């Protein structure tokens, strides 16, 4: 989290500026927007910390056609994501941020991560094959050949598909 940093994550310089702006975002309500700028290497980033708590929500979303895969997914830092049919669970961590992207883009990203990590299991044939199965399944979903249920559990109710 950039608000906890005292130096630039890219070049380690301490010549940084962090500004805080309170902002009312249409989808997530009142939030603090932190902007980070490094005066040495010019690296910039930002982070949004929501101030609203809308209460626990659970969204179950079935992707069974291309149109549904193209919907936008606003993922809050508190969201736990479960891909039901392939038993993938993504739990929120300290590094979690607001993300907004299309569902298919989100799945593509998970697939790419699995591709990258499969090598770690190359000496465990069973685990390795399971990962390949998941990768193939996501590919089939992206090609509209299989269905996938995304379950989103958000303790502050800030995630949304629209």
List interacting residues with Zn ion (CB under 5 A): 8, 10-11, 13, 38, 40-41, 43
State which residue, 25 or 34, has the beta carbon closest to Zn ion: 34
Instruction: Kindly give the pairing relationship between strand 148-154 and strand 44-50.
Output: unpaired
C-alpha distances out from residue 100 to 29, 60, 127, Å = 15, 18, 31
CB of 73 to Zn ion, least distance (A): 31
Hunting for tokens 């993504």 — which residue is that? 90
65/62 Cα distance (integer angstroms): 9
State which residue, 39 or 65, has the beta carbon closest to Zn ion: 39
State which residue, 37 or 68, has the beta carbon closest to Zn ion: 37
CB of 10 to Zn ion, least distance (A): 5
157/80 Cα distance (integer angstroms): 11
CB of 144 to Zn ion, least distance (A): 44
State which residue, 43 or 128, has the beta carbon closest to Zn ion: 43
* DSSP tally for the chain: helices H, then strands E: 3, 10
CB of 27 to Zn ion, least distance (A): 31
Instruction: Find how far residue 11's CA is from the centre of its chain.
Output: 25
């Amino acid at each position: 989290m950039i608000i906890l940093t005292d130096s630039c994550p890219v070049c380690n310089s301490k010549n940084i500026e962090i500004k805080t702006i309170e902002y009312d975002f249409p989808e997530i309500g009142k939030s603090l927007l932190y902007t980070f700028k490094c005066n040495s290497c010019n690296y910039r980033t930002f982070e949004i910390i929501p101030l609203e708590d809308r209460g626990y929500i659970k969204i179950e979303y079935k992707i069974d056609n291309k149109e549904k895969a193209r919907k936008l997914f606003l993922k809050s830092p508190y969201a736990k994501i479960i891909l039901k049919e392939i038993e993938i669970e993504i739990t929120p961590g300290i590094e979690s941020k607001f993300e907004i992207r299309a569902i298919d883009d989100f799945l593509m990203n998970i697939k790419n991560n699995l591709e990258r990590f499969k090598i770690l299991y190359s000496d465990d044939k069973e685990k390795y094959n399971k990962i390949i199965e998941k990768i193939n399944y996501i590919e089939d979903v992206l090609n509209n050949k299989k269905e996938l249920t995304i379950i989103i559990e958000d303790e502050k109710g800030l995630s949304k598909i629209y």
